[in-house]
Amino acid sequence: MSLGDNLRRLRMDKGLTQGDLSNESGVGLGQISKLERNKADPTLSTIYKLMGALDCSADRLLMDKEKAGLSGILKEQFERVSGLPKRDQELLIEIMDKFCIANGLKTMLDEHRVLINVGERSSGVKGMLSDS
């Protein structure tokens, strides 16, 4: 994901139009449009202005998701969730908790199946040895 994609997503997460962001950051409307379309590269001062207006870190604004890896993407998603209303945050925590519990149960079941299969093979080998 590019700077333009990040900028657009962050702006929209805040419920801002390009004009609103221009007013809040002091960055020209045309420049914001070009940045979101990846038609311009921002100066360092522009990055700082955008970070201030969007209340975000440089990582959130500049991170290339394809290169960030899973932990970087998860970190960014948790930062986004922190901006949601408390009830939505609680709902997401509940969903993640239930997912982790279900995943743990699945892992236990898979391990149990392996133990059963090993036990069945072991019994079969013992039976073949006693038949000889």
- 7-16, 75-84, 86-95, 98-107: least confidently modelled range: 75-84
Separation between Cα atoms, residue 29 and residue 22, nearest integer Å? 5
Is the distance from CB of 5 to CB of 67 less than 8 angstroms? no
Separation between Cα atoms, residue 18 and residue 55, nearest integer Å? 15
pTM for the complete prediction?
0.58
pLDDT value at 69 more than 70: yes
Separation between Cα atoms, residue 109 and residue 120, nearest integer Å? 16
pLDDT-derived band at 127 (thresholds 50, 70, 90) equals: low
Amino acid at 20: D
